[in-house]
Amino acid sequence: MKAWVSHRPGGPETLVWQELPDPVPADGEVLVKIAAVGVNYPDGLLIRDLYQVRPERPFVPGSEFCGVVEQVGRDVSGLREGDLVIGRCGWGAMADRIAVAEQRCVRVPADTPRTQAAAFMFAYATAYHALCDAAQLQAKQTVLVLGAAGGVGSAAVEVAHALGARVVAAVSSPSKLAFAMARGASGGLVYEQQVEGREAQQALARRIKEAVGGDGCDVVFDPVGGGYTEPALRSLRRGGRHLVVGFTAGIPSVPLNLTLLKSRHIVGVDWRSFVQEDPKLNDRNVHSLLAMWREGLLQPEVTETFALADAPEAIARLDARGALGKIVVVA
């Protein structure tokens, strides 16, 4: 089979398109013919050795996929050949085929659009875990979503809206704000491409408070970090929860007196660890999300597709932070 392989740390240009032996499913595994691969921000970190886990090289990037089961290993009881599945793998999906543990896959209806399905699990499951498990979001509460037009951010907008919350979107361009509003945000603001220095952060804090209104928001969903985190944290009302989801703008530093003054909470969200520690709850979350999709409450928005042979371009496109919604590689 053909696959993209990382032999050394670096950007997408370091990946090598090469022939590999077809994988063979071990006990408890299924062999999946890849139809589409969702591209996620950690994919670019992983190949640069900047992610919290570092697979042994050589490895194939690609963290989530949609495909058809071609073969099942021994002790596989819930899936069979011909099933259409979505799956999470951490790495390994940017290839013609992948052998993966059965419990990492979820069967979906045969008529499910492959590209949308490949873009579903990582973003929506992260958003749902963050908002429901970590933040205990309630209907009619207010959620501020940073990076609200990106893959995880736009999923958070949709999930929060579907749960009955009021969503305020914070983004870096008017077109991104329009995109977030179409996903369910009721208001928002456009922030600067760079927020550096005290004055810039204070100005952004004022604009966020104005956009949020009232005495502040209940939850901040923050996959951005950098200079945007402190202004967003300041917008929380008493007892509010700031969800730390990622750092596309860098790892922030914040004065902890901001948490003490209004009993605000900073909550780390690591979906990867959550899946390992509580797979049954994650399965329930994913099935709840699939039900919400079937009911029309969620609609995965794939705005760009790339052929598998052009997968490095897809990773580079996401690295540039200009993408709306999800980017998918189609096999």
- Mean pLDDT for the stretch of residues 118-138: 97
Residue 128's pLDDT is 98
Percentage of the chain exceeding pLDDT 70: 100
List of domains in the chain? 2-120+300-330 (3.90.180.10), 123-272 (3.40.50.720)
Residue 195's pLDDT is 86
CA distance 134 to 240: 12
pLDDT in tens, 231-249: 999 999 999 999 999 999 9
When the pLDDT of each residue in the chain is averaged and rounded to a whole number, the result is 96
pLDDT in tens, 165-198: 999 999 999 999 999 999 999 999 999 888 888 8
Give pTM, 2 decimals: 0.95
pLDDT at 31 over 80: yes
